[in-house]
Amino acid sequence: MAQKLNYLRESPSQTGGPYVHIGCTPNFTGIGMYGGDLGTSMKTGPVQGTEISIKGTVFDGTGTPLRDAMIEIWQPDAAGLFPSANETRGTADPHFTGWGRSPGDMETGEFTFETVKPGAVPFPDGRMQAPHINAWIVARGINVGLHTRIYFEDEAEANVTDPILTRIEHQNRIPTLLAKPEGVGSYRFDIHLQGPLETIFFDM
């Protein structure tokens, strides 16, 4: 006898929302804990390098902003050094965490990061990568977090020799990975999950 189609239903642990904000950004949801959400501030004091802000919105395939997305970023400091015990090339900026987390605004879907312009880091074969930030996206309906990179449109010289960007078969899609300047120290990086402007995502 065939079982009913509603016998096995998707459990909450198989989707990113609505619990992702409660667990990862409880203060954002109104649950006051820990004195503040982890990843809210990436700067713990005076930082080295150029301070920047990155704003963006996650859009679905219809061009509608996702208002419940959450973004995490990882990056080196302005000198290209990571705040990690495994960093052997030098000492990273002690006032910069290198990691941030931002929930999208519940009205507009816009996320924001106050960070520093990252320095270049070496590829495993020694070639230098263009300055970039690694990003991870989760939201309602995304069962496996999506990975992408944020490069900078105003780093054109470094971008044309980047070991990752040069391997992308469809070079006309590279603009989906470029944060665009919007005034001094401000960048815009929108993420499109589907459609003609779909952001390039990496299998990691």
What is the residue range of 41's domain?
A: 15-192
| Residue 103 tokens, joined | 């929930």
Query: Does the residue 75 lie in any domain?
Result: yes
Task: State phi, psi for 51 to the nearest 5 degrees.
Answer: -80, 135
Q: 184: which residues sit within 8 A by CB, 6+ positions away? A: none
What's the pLDDT score for residue 148? 98
What's the pLDDT score for residue 1? 53
Query: Does the residue 8 lie in any domain?
Result: no
Query: Does the residue 7 lie in any domain?
Result: no
Residue 42: which CATH number? 2.60.130.10
Query: Does the residue 150 lie in any domain?
Result: yes
Per DSSP, the three-state class of 2 is coil
Query: Does the residue 6 lie in any domain?
Result: no
pLDDT in tens, 133-168: 999 999 877 778 899 999 999 999 999 999 999 999
pLDDT in tens, 80-116: 999 998 899 999 999 999 999 998 888 898 999 999 9
Total of domains in the chain: 1
Distance between CA 55 and CA 159 in Å, rounded?
21
Query: Does the residue 202 lie in any domain?
Result: no
Whether the upstream peptide bond of residue 65 has omega within 30° of 0, thus cis, is: no
| Residue 99 tokens, joined | 């990691």
Rg of the chain in Å (alpha carbons): 18
Task: State phi, psi for 150 to the nearest 5 degrees.
Answer: -110, 105
